[in-house]
Amino acid sequence: MSTSEDALDTLRETSRTFFIPISRLPAGLQDAVMSGYLCLRAIDEVEDHPRLDNRTKAMLLHSISHTLQTTFAAGDFTTALGGYQQELPEVTLRVGDWAMLAPPSVAPRVWEATATMADRMAQWADSAWMIRTEADLDRYTFGVAGSVGLLLSDLWAWYNGTQSNRIHAVGFGRGLQAVNILRNHAEDVVRGVEFFPSGWRAEDMHAYARRNLALADAYTNALPPGPVLDFCSLPLALAYATLESLARGDSKLSRSEVLQIVDRHTSGRL
């Protein structure tokens, strides 16, 4: 099995939202986006790990970042992850494979994005994700999601010169992250993490999400027809549907609702 096929299998197991749009991207762009997604998912699994303490999370995240900033081989991350292999999922243990998946002409951009985000996540772990104000929330959502929008904009430009609004790209990432915060709020609180600024209720986070998703609308509306627009449309549609579901009092979208949205946004495409 090629690394690309292996990565697609891992992607299918880790994300119902992004597997379909990534699997439909053309060759070259698919490897670049898949490399970025899996690298970022690898470090996200460390940040959200239910059994590791914050100090250990910060240490592991810094270690991954520092390795990405060297001349590395895929196997070098075994050392970076120390004695925690038994605790970590496969997507994290294989971060070196995902890093090497990116086409060489754009791979350093993927590595830079992952290294920078890992360091930011480590800082948040060290501070126990202390979010008191909307400015704190902005910093967090920029660090773990808005910056992903910037990476994707760079990948579109690298692939075929597609230009996109980078301020809107940040809003796109922030909006998706705010929806995730709302969806996972109850379980985050149980594990001792509160992403809502002081005094905020669910309605405030809904408003924050919608303000940023409006920027995501502007981002996608300006894209030309083609694989980039197709990629961006599905996560945005799922985010809006999730907000509506949460507002109704449901904990998440049902599988049938997800499949209906996926079918609506992928029917007729190869």
Q: What are the domain boundaries of the chain?
A: 1-106, 129-270
Residue range 51-99, pLDDT digits in tens: 999 999 999 999 999 999 999 999 999 999 988 999 999 999 999 999 9
* Measured distance CA(5)–CA(134) in Å, rounded: 41
Percent of the residues in the chain that have a pLDDT greater than 90, as a whole number: 78
Residues 6+ apart with CB under 8 A from 74: 94, 96, 97, 99, 100
Element (H, E) at 97: helix 95-101
Contact 217, 176 (CB under 8 A): no
Model pLDDT, residue 270: 41
The confidence band for 258, taking pLDDT boundaries of 50, 70 and 90, is: confident
The confidence band for 18, taking pLDDT boundaries of 50, 70 and 90, is: confident
Model pLDDT, residue 108: 98
Match domain 129-270 to its CATH number in 1.20.1070.10, 3.20.20.10, 1.10.600.10, 3.90.45.10. 1.10.600.10
Does the pLDDT of residue 156 top 60, yes or no?
A: yes
Residue range 207-250, pLDDT digits in tens: 999 999 999 999 999 999 999 999 999 999 999 999 999 988 88
Quick one: tokens of 4? Answer: 């690309």
Q: What totals of helices (H) and strands (E) does the chain contain, helices first? A: 15, 0
Model pLDDT, residue 45: 96
In whole numbers, what is the pLDDT of the chain averaged over residues?
A: 93
Dump the DSSP string for 194-226: --SPTT--HHHHHHHHHHHHHHHHHHHHTSPTT
Phi-psi region of 162 (alpha: psi -120 to 50; beta: other; left: phi over 0): beta
Model pLDDT, residue 266: 67
Q: What is the pTM of this model?
A: 0.92
